[in-house]
Structure 1
Amino acid sequence: MGSVLHHSWTLTQPPSTPSCPQSLSDRVPQDSPSREALQRACAERVGKCQVNLGNIQDKKRFLSDIFTTIVDLKYRWFLFVFMMCYVVTWVVFGFIYFLDAWVRGDVWHQGDPEWQACIENVDGFVSALLLSVESQRTIGYGTRMVTANCAEGVILLIAQSIVGSMIDAMMVGCMFVKISRPKKRAQTLIFSKNCVISLRDEKLCLMFRVGDLRESHMVDAKIRAKLIKSRQTAEGEFIPLEQSELNLGYDTGEDRLFLVEPQIICHVINRHSPFWDMSAESLRREQFEIIIILEGIVEATGMTCQARTSYTEDEILWGYRFESCMSLEKGAFQVDYSRFEMTFEVQTPAASAKELQDAAGLCHGAHCATVLTVPLPWCCEAALQHPGLG
């Protein structure tokens, strides 16, 4: 039993440099075996998902929701789509104007004062195209026009005006939605580059820091965390991306944030946590990803904003704690964001939370008189000094 306790309470020896790495290449060595796994992460650090959807058979579903499809386009494709809409309508109606003028003979009677023209001053396709552009954009230079001598010309002009108004309305609506989306608001919501695992209130906890750079705060901000990990069931089924919820204080309301200052979000590693039986040594052998999702309402616009980030197993520092980035100056709290990423080494058991609880139970059962005067995480140290009591 003594050897088991000694193994459970070995202290970690974190790297000598406690400062956080600044880039992905710094976080993962070039020869690291899990570097490829990091590059295949489900989400980038900025929150963009890296799961590619392929072999979609029924693509007409995207056309049934054409508004969302257009809004989701990148700006270059967004502008290209509407530019092509304008060009196509100009060319189509210009061709119809030219065809009407050619059939009625207006093309061959230019300058004839006795001729009752349907479309005046259209002597070719180019002039008909200019008439189409002038009509749809309501320029109206006056040299080319549709007269009242033919009903089809009037109907054609009305149809082009309606189509042009529909394109204008759709472009303005899509552009307004696109530029007013709170997607860019997430750029001022920042997450620490690393998670840390250390003791807090005598419990092993996984922690990361989140902050808001703007003075206009998020309303009703909520935070969630998902552990994404592959596993094989007892029946042999392989689940490539199984999602497990990490409790960030849902039952106590601690998952609802008031981001007036950077906050350290804490996940207590208990028997309901996926990290319950994970030690510092086994952590280095695991391959998983933690997706952090922060949602809230933008105070200025009232629209819902979502910011995401991810952490892999190589970005979790065991035996570290975040440095404070707040100070009291001249009667007000000051936040120093240059210290947002800073961590420092603390004494932390390398054992899993399950091993800590088992060892603490043994210590309390065999050595209560001495152990109860010692903080829970270090009770086993007293038991190791008196192995006969175990």
Structure 2
Amino acid sequence: MFGSLNNRIREYLDKRRNRSTRLVTKDGRCNIEYGNIKYSKHFAFLADFWTTLVELRWRYVLFIFTASFTLSWFIFGLVWYWIGRNNGDMTWQNPPPNHIPCVINVVGLTSAYLYSLETQTTVGYGVRALTDLCPGAVAVVTIQSVLGAIINCLMCGVVIAKISLPKKRAKTITFSSMAVISPKNDCLCLSIRVANLRRSLMIGSQIYGKLLRTTTTQDGETIILDQVNVDFTLDAGKDNLFFICPLTLYHKIDKTSPFFEIAVDTLHKQNFELVVFLDGTAESTSSSCQVRTSYIPQEIMWGYNFLPIISRSKEGKYRVDFSNFSKVVPVATAHCSYCFHNIKGHHQYSREGHDNPGFEPPNGS
């Protein structure tokens, strides 16, 4: 009992440490903070107020949404109270019986606030109404109506923009939790798996990677977060992916690859982060989005391959089994890229490949 509890605590601490040391989390968020920004630069966020509002958290957007309407109603309520007070419409001013008010039944601060709310929301209860006695009141009701329409359009636009953000579409694109290294087409490859959980396609999808690591130049200069390009490809190419079903993407570990010097016994001792990007355009909304994830050395499995997940039923339909999406199986794999190309049979594992028993070939095959 205590042993399993210790293991759970250790796994939790490892996950927390890995999460804190990542630049990009598994769900694509960037783990970075900015400091010592000049106070004058903060006005740039106000100048670009639309982006600032859209990127705010929902609780702040809802607060601003409520506060903007309530505050405008209250401010114009004070204006209507001031107009009625100057005209002698208030109850405490004891107007004569034949007195004609600027706004009928606005006799105090509460009724002035209610009239302001009814005017800006275009809700008329038939109790309070504007007369043509006060030209200033006519100007105020015009200004409030126009300003209310502007606030309504702005805040509703912010809410709609936040709901339709492209990053929400990115939530339905998922990567395998682990990357694997195994032979593929007579070459040692690093492979990842990606799937689109929606039926609608991602048009013009492109995938690429960046290897982030700390390096030291010949002059002794330390470069933090040095970026190296990592190309991924499919058998049919790397651009304009036909993203209708889960895809397995490969990076060839050759002499030009940053993984060429890494071996099975040194992989988990490395200090790097492989960030994978997928760019595409949502077919249903025509909005561009980017999906990100990252892999650290502890999330790269040497000598494994992904289990097959696509099968075809007797009715001729293709079926994707997501229960095997991130599952792997050991395969015969060389200890390093040099061993793969120069020492035949120098393998860490030796197992037969796994066929997909659910796939039924077409007639005549």
Partner residue of 1:310? 294
Q: How many Å separate the matches in 2 of 1:253 and 1:141?
A: 66
Unaligned runs of 5+ residues in structure 1 are 1-24, 361-376, 382-390
Q: How many Å separate the matches in 2 of 1:223 and 1:128?
A: 60
Unaligned runs of 5+ residues in structure 2 are 1-6, 348-365
Partner residue of 2:329? 344
Q: Which has the higher contact order (CA 8 A, sep 6+)?
A: 1
* CA gap 1:178/1:38 in 2 versus in 1, 3 angstroms: closer
The one-letter code of the counterpart of 1:179 is I
What do you get for the CA RMSD once the two structures are aligned? 2.5
Name whichever of 136-145 and 113-122 sits farther off: 113-122
Q: 1:300 aligns with which of 276, 284, 287?
A: 284
Q: 1:41 aligns with which of 17, 22, 26?
A: 22
CA-to-partner distance for each residue in 1:197-255, whole Å, 9 max, x for gaps? 11112211110111122222221111111111122222333222122110113998324
Q: 2:237 aligns with which of 253, 275, 291?
A: 253
* CA gap 1:350/1:250 in 2 versus in 1, 3 angstroms: closer
1:68 equivalent in alignment to 2:77: no
The number of aligned residues is 336
Q: TM-score, normalised by structure 2?
A: 0.84
Partner residue of 1:55? 36
Partner residue of 1:239? 223
* CA gap 1:159/1:355 in 2 versus in 1, 3 angstroms: same
Partner residue of 1:280? 264
Give how far 1:172 is off: 2.1
Partner residue of 2:313? 329
The one-letter code of the counterpart of 1:337 is F
Give how far 1:163 is off: 0.8
Give how far 1:178 is off: 1.9
Give how far 1:112 is off: 2.7
Q: How many Å separate the matches in 1 of 2:344 and 2:234?
A: 29
In structure 1, the residue corresponding to 2:96 is in which secondary structure?
Answer: coil
Partner residue of 1:197? 181
Q: How many Å separate the matches in 2 of 1:236 and 1:273?
A: 24
Q: How many Å separate the matches in 1 of 2:143 and 2:252?
A: 65
Name whichever of 162-171 and 199-208 sits farther off: 199-208
Contact 2:177 2:326 in 1 (8 A): yes
List 4+ stretches of structure 1 deviating above 4 A.
28-32, 108-111, 354-357
Contact 2:88 2:95 in 1 (8 A): no
Partner residue of 2:351? none
In structure 2, the residue corresponding to 1:274 is in which secondary structure?
Answer: coil
Give how far 1:51 is off: 1.2
Partner residue of 1:224? 208
Q: 1:378 aligns with which of 335, 344, 347?
A: 344
Partner residue of 2:121? 137
Name whichever of 110-119 and 47-56 sits farther off: 110-119
Give how far 1:85 is off: 0.4
Contact 2:339 2:346 in 1 (8 A): no
* CA gap 1:31/1:134 in 2 versus in 1, 3 angstroms: closer
In structure 1, the residue corresponding to 2:301 is in which secondary structure?
Answer: strand
* CA gap 1:191/1:210 in 2 versus in 1, 3 angstroms: same
Q: TM-score, normalised by structure 1?
A: 0.79
Contact 1:226 1:291 in 2 (8 A): yes
Name whichever of 250-259 and 284-293 sits farther off: 250-259
* CA gap 1:169/1:199 in 2 versus in 1, 3 angstroms: same
CA-to-partner distance for each residue in 1:153-203, whole Å, 9 max, x for gaps? 111111111110000111222222222223222222121110001111221
Contact 2:213 2:226 in 1 (8 A): yes
Specify the structure having the higher radius of gyration (Cα).
1
Percent identity of the aligned residues?
35
The one-letter code of the counterpart of 1:52 is E
The one-letter code of the counterpart of 1:165 is A
Partner residue of 2:353? none
1:88 equivalent in alignment to 2:54: no
